[in-house]
Structure 1
Amino acid sequence: MTPTITAFNWVPDFARGFVRDIRARWAFEEIGRPYAVDLVDGKSIKLPAHRRFQPFGQIPTYRDDGVAIFESGAIALRIAEEGGGLLPDDPEGRMRAIQWVIAALNSVEPYVMQLAVVDVFEADRPWSAERRPQVIADLEERLADLQQALGERTWIDGGDFTVGDLMLISVLGGLRGTGVLDGFPQLAAYVARGEDRPAHRKAMADHLADLADAPVAA
């Protein structure tokens, strides 16, 4: 079967360009492999049929002839294994790329998401404004660590672009429009390089096109 991912058929304007199906789409475009997209709505992913596969009621999910999995990091790694270019051939380089996928999701993304919580998802709560300075301080501390790790390198491991870069840049892309990266010029340039790759531009365009063609939510 053609590898298939799930993606939303509609999201609010603030979420367009940020939903995690972009990570899978980008990985497919990097390896040059065709894939299919099963567009779903926000209600169907909470139903038992979807939860039996994805217990948290989220997207994306992924299926091919060999596996059926969820979580964007696992999906990106599966796609990287199926095609050349995103995982180095040598064992040490391969594990470092995987290391950065896990670091992006475990050590960076939680800090990025806390900013989204106070600025978007809980912006109307009385504690959000009071909590925001500490959220920014914690995020900036983590970004400073990451910028130091990147240094002057083009990509995080100093060699070719890998699935580790794909995941880090996808996570940092969650700061798009916030101005936070303005204080971290090396990281800002790193994200810009990644998002300017033809594979990312194609993935983003397809993501936005699917949302543009979808029916307006009731």
Structure 2
Amino acid sequence: MEKIAVWGFSWIPPFAQGLVRDLRVRWALEEAGLAYDSRWIGTGELKSAAYRSKHPFGLVPVLESDDQTLIESGAIVHAIAERCETLMPVDRRNETLSWMFTALNTIEPPIWNLFAMDVLHRDEAWVPLRRPGAVDDVKTRLAALSGCLDGRDYLLGCFTAADILMTSVLRFIRHTNLVGEYPLLDAYVKRCEARPAFQAALRNQMEGYALNEPATA
């Protein structure tokens, strides 16, 4: 049996728990029915030579299998999806890929920008000046995305790897009610998060944080 291991942070502060991108990889593996082990790394170890040999930029996630090491969550999810008809239907492969890139290249940048302002730089003087424009950018994307979901449970009608990436991206603004302003989008995220595979992936990640929680946290 192939051995698969997923690298993620051993622990991070609560505001980021459930958001780190190894969750996408775990979710894809759960959907595909592929067993995997967890490997945990502290943020202070990311620059070590041993870890840089796995990920040259010292980031997570990393997926290791018997014959390869993969980096970048989108690329890893794609590799997993290629092995699973559910995640990458043969007759809709190009559509699935298009929506996967849409999640990462069209939807994630403005959402991450807002997340960074609200969570990572919230005390800096420039944030109140730039935030209204950032919110407008996010709303423009969300409105268009909501329209695409009209009459559909998932992006392609059936659940695919694109929904894994899209839902993971939308979770970055869970600290706001922006998704909630679009009922179709809100229902879509809740539908995806209710999937047993997502719940298993989230539980796996959170159990790792609990196991490695520092005494002073």
Aligned residue for 1:136, secondary structure, equals helix
Distance in structure 1 (CA, Å) of the matches to 2:69 and 2:171: 27
For 1:67, the equivalent position in structure 2 comes to 68
Find the counterpart in structure 2 of residue 151 from structure 1: 150
Deviation at 1:44, TM superposition (A): 1.1
Q: TM-score, normalised by structure 1?
A: 0.94
Distance 1:217 1:180, change over 3 A: farther
Which residue does the alignment assign to 2:50?
49
Tell me the TM-score normalized by structure 2: 0.94
Corresponding residue for residue 200 of structure 2:
202
SS in structure 2 at match of 1:62: strand
- What letter corresponds to residue 107 of structure 1 in structure 2? T
> Where does residue 124 of structure 2 map in the other structure?
125
Aligned partners of 1:3 and 1:35 also within 8 Å: yes
CA distance in 1, matches of 2:48, 2:37: 22
- Secondary structure of 1:177's partner? coil
1:108/1:171 contact within 8 Å kept: yes
| 1:171 partnered with 2:172 | no
Q: Residue 161 in 1 paired to residue 159 in 2?
A: yes
- Say which SS state the counterpart of residue 171 (structure 1) adopts: helix
Q: Report the counterpart of residue 26 of structure 2 in structure 1.
A: 25
* Two-structure CA RMSD over aligned residues (Å): 1.4
1:137-166 residue CA offsets vs partner (Å, 9 max, x unmatched): 0100011111112222111112x2000111
- Measure how far apart 1:53 and its partner are: 3.2
Distance 1:116 1:46 in 2: 25
CA contact (8 A) 1:5 1:36 kept: yes
How many Å separate the matches in 1 of 2:184 and 2:87? 22
1:183-202 matches, within 5 Å, as: 183-202=181-200
Q: Secondary structure at the match of 2:113?
A: helix
Shift of 1:51: 2.4
Aligned to 1:40: 41
**Dislocated runs of 4+, deviation >3 Å:** none
Query: In structure 2, what is the equivalent of residue 79 of structure 1?
Result: 80
Deviations for 1:13-40, whole angstroms, at most 9, x for unmatched residues?
1011111111011011101110011111
CA positional deviation for 1:64: 1.2
Deviation at residue 67 of structure 1 after TM alignment: 2.2
What is the CA-CA distance between 1:76 and the residue it aligns to?
0.7
CA distance, structure 2, for counterparts of residue 23 and residue 217 of structure 1 = 28
CA distance in 2, matches of 1:52, 1:210: 23
**Number of the residue aligned with 2:212:** 214
1:101 paired with 2:106, answer no
CA–CA distance in 1 between the matches of 2:186 and 2:48? 39
